[in-house]
Structure 1
């Protein structure tokens, strides 16, 4: 976002001299030096013009006693914290006067210049005062930017919990269906696959939100593979379907695979975000359209353009250049109360550009709908390959698991569920909910492996790991850390505690079972 154009009034010199002749001479000198100035006929004029903006005041000593100076001094006293308007006083030669002493006591930023003075000295002093004033304006812009950023982040945190519930909607529906309907295995499997995808989306989203700075620096790691745009769009529609209920939706895509090379989860996130926005800002009963078209090229496969169009509230023209900036939310009556993190479109732009594409926003204005256009390069023929993802669920281990396995987590549901899963795979598990209970169990059972939560109250996972390692009877014990903390210093602390592996919650079950297999 560029800074607004400076107000010329804020860089001018407001002057009140002892005589009209002095004013004419001062204006001529400043004009020749390229310094804008305004001569005021009285101090009351200074008081009025200051409210419109000033770079510095240039006052003769003789005018300091005018009654209106009290209003000027009061205005100077009530300046904003960033402001300290320079005041230059042209003093008569000789001893300090009472008026000057009073001005210096009541006005903070006063410079006294004794007359007569050289023209070069006057110009130099005025320029120095104006440069100091410019630094104050820079501080004002910085403070305004910090306030705006703080407001955006406050709104971001206030709505974070709401936005994270998006993937929970299809998960909750699927769980209710599986609980109350006697589905055949094939039908249930489809719901399990969908739930697995939603959990994966949620995990990836949380990872990004915990490190917003990674997003702005483009440090998100992609997992590129050959994939079908059709599949990406279908999964995005599935993810966004709860929000689009009550809207008229259509997807126009010509036959064919429309192959890309990219991160399927990330691209699904891009289009789900655009669909969510379209649904959020389109009144119930409105239309949301997705249209796919090829953009030919002189050589190579060209690119594909995906248009996500709605007939909703639209975007004001003044906001279109900023809609992809971090934490920006469009302010308009029609959008009031819609919420939103102000991070979604920033993610969209970052992820699309990381895939070698671009995204643009179009709208004719308030109430006239919005169109988001994403353009992505199509894959070269050599990159086309099978895009079957399988069912997305972890396969059964190809070797038996070592045991006993000690699972320690103060979240009892998490510990019990993980134990149940490992038991299904044939493992022998023990569960503890705190460090003291875990040490007692380890003394009795002598586990071959232990999965420890790091963030437990009291004795945390790192301290528990150190105590387990200190016992010679646990020689050869496999220690796996399971934590929601994954910053570099967290990983260093985990490694220093003696862990063999560090998994982030929710654990990658496939990797966990691979670690637990007998060597």
Structure 2
């Protein structure tokens, strides 16, 4: 059985008699005692032996106890040691306050009783043990948080691979119309639910990154109307399938602002999806207006529904993580309870505000987003990009998931591209060197040679003639930055919508 370590006290006092007396009291109480007669000696011994408590006289021959305490606190190796000042000279309240302000944990004036000294040392020892336990717990929680983030990243990667195969396959099917109404409905269900799953995966990862301050916006000047039209195009089929009306009112002129188009789409997709989820019958209204506030212009977007409403006791915390209006055991509404948390965080990152209103259960709800617009002098629309005509390309597809690889190849060939495929990084590099494709779509998580190494090899052996696109289940700014450093031209996250991939290939 391992014997518990005896607590160690460093006794610092230049008076031999006082130092001896304190030593004897502490030793009789069961402590291991070290001693020092000067401030510099105390600092050296504290760093070497790391005592549990230091009994530190204020008046020392070289530097004062105040200075010793300040230096202990400034040194990371000794900052956590408990310090008790003692003094027979500096006994006034202002001197005690100075000692405590300098970092001491307690202050005893001499003469003191042996019981008072021992009780104070024990109190400081308990304080130190509590701090150490709290520090260990904080380190454990930080490690658990790190492992959780790693798990979520791996989970997203594993989920995105099958989602990519499903989304690509349904994209192929949708290009071959069917007269069978039942089959058409089933295709619509698969399409909507796949997109819903993809959004859930993105939200799950985003909430972890946002709460840790890891999300960076990729901003540029854009027209908010265009963003909202894109969102409506995605959302409308789902609302119509539920028998809900979607009324949209947009201004005639552009609403120019500085923002991240992807994140803005995420904001309004979440709000509209949330409105549809909590509305059984009736309609959803999206109304956009421009308002002036204190000499500056704002875009005001209101999403209103005729759904179940928000109870008054839930309304103040509706944007909190995992908060939901439907808290019944049946959980008929679904969702993770993180969408509105993402909305608030992303709106705030854009310099805006979001508020929720409801008159209570069964009376619908309204969410209002306010975003700052650019000054009217800056509202000149950017010159339109020249329209490009798409021609068949020679494409190398490097993907280790067989279903995802086959679905992507058939979709690309449907668009008229010549496709060669490789199941791993080594074969991908070999084919690229031999066949010299125009463009390579490369998964990151590949066996043998990962996608980053593939990009580096192709840049060194093929050069800049080949365009490289990373298609990966690992999202986040870290993966994006690493992909660009490795030599990729673009970094996109699975599952890629077929129409988005089509636009991407046309623009490269």
Q: Are residues 334 and 440 of structure 1, via their aligned partners in 2, closer, same or farther at CA, if it must alter by over 3 Å? A: closer
Aligned residue among 252, 271, 276 for 2:273: 276
Cα contact 2:271–2:303 (8 A) shared by 1: no
Question: Which position in structure 2 is the counterpart of 1:457?
Answer: 447
Question: Which position in structure 1 is the counterpart of 2:375?
Answer: 380
Cα distance in 2 between the residues matched to 1:271 and 1:132:
50
User: 2:327 aligned with 1:336, yes or no?
Assistant: no
Question: Which position in structure 2 is the counterpart of 1:396?
Answer: 390
Question: Which position in structure 2 is the counterpart of 1:267?
Answer: 264
Question: Which position in structure 2 is the counterpart of 1:482?
Answer: 470
Cα distance in 2 between the residues matched to 1:293 and 1:468:
50
* Aligned positions of 1:349-428 closer than 5 A: 349-363=344-358, 369-386=364-381, 395-396=389-390, 406-412=396-402, 415=405
Question: Which position in structure 2 is the counterpart of 1:447?
Answer: 436
Cα contact 2:284–2:303 (8 A) shared by 1: no
Aligned residue among 285, 296, 306 for 2:302: 306
Cα contact 1:491–1:502 (8 A) shared by 2: no
Bigger relative contact order, structure 1 or 2 (CA pairs below 8 A, ≥6 apart): 2
Cα distance in 2 between the residues matched to 1:259 and 1:478:
38
Q: Give the match's secondary structure for 2:176.
A: helix
- Tell me how far 1:478 sits from its aligned partner: 4.0
Question: Which position in structure 2 is the counterpart of 1:44?
Answer: none
Cα distance in 1 between the residues matched to 2:217 and 2:460:
38
Aligned residue among 248, 251, 262 for 2:247: 251
- Tell me how far 1:273 sits from its aligned partner: 0.8
Cα contact 2:344–2:353 (8 A) shared by 1: yes
Cα distance in 2 between the residues matched to 1:149 and 1:458:
30
Aligned residue among 213, 216, 226 for 1:220: 216
Q: Are residues 143 and 289 of structure 1, via their aligned partners in 2, closer, same or farther at CA, if it must alter by over 3 Å? A: farther
Cα distance in 1 between the residues matched to 2:161 and 2:431:
37
Q: Are residues 414 and 514 of structure 1, via their aligned partners in 2, closer, same or farther at CA, if it must alter by over 3 Å? A: farther
Cα distance in 1 between the residues matched to 2:388 and 2:295:
41
TM-score normalized by the length of structure 2: 0.51
Cα contact 1:315–1:369 (8 A) shared by 2: no
Q: Give the match's secondary structure for 2:247.
A: strand
Query: Which consecutive residues of structure 2, in runs of 5 or more, have no partner in the other structure?
Result: 1-111, 180-190
Q: Are residues 125 and 345 of structure 1, via their aligned partners in 2, closer, same or farther at CA, if it must alter by over 3 Å? A: same
The C-alpha deviation readout for 1:413-447, integer Å capped at 9, x for no partner, is: 6556666677788865544445676688678x543
* Aligned positions of 1:17-56 closer than 5 A: none
The C-alpha deviation readout for 1:90-140, integer Å capped at 9, x for no partner, is: xxxxxxxxxxxxxxxxxxxxxxxxxx9778559747865885797599689
Cα distance in 2 between the residues matched to 1:248 and 1:427:
40
Cα distance in 2 between the residues matched to 1:462 and 1:255:
45
User: 2:314 aligned with 1:324, yes or no?
Assistant: no
- Tell me how far 1:213 sits from its aligned partner: 4.8
- Aligned length, in residue pairs: 373
Q: Give the match's secondary structure for 1:333.
A: coil
Cα distance in 2 between the residues matched to 1:449 and 1:425:
16
The C-alpha deviation readout for 1:268-326, integer Å capped at 9, x for no partner, is: 321221122222233x2255444445544353445535253444151452x44443344
Q: Are residues 361 and 146 of structure 1, via their aligned partners in 2, closer, same or farther at CA, if it must alter by over 3 Å? A: farther
TM-score normalized by the length of structure 1: 0.51
Cα distance in 2 between the residues matched to 1:477 and 1:302:
45
Mean alpha-carbon deviation: is it higher for 249-258 or for 356-365? 249-258
Question: Which position in structure 1 is the counterpart of 2:341?
Answer: 346
Question: Which position in structure 2 is the counterpart of 1:297?
Answer: 293
Question: Which position in structure 2 is the counterpart of 1:52?
Answer: none
Q: Are residues 167 and 247 of structure 1, via their aligned partners in 2, closer, same or farther at CA, if it must alter by over 3 Å? A: farther
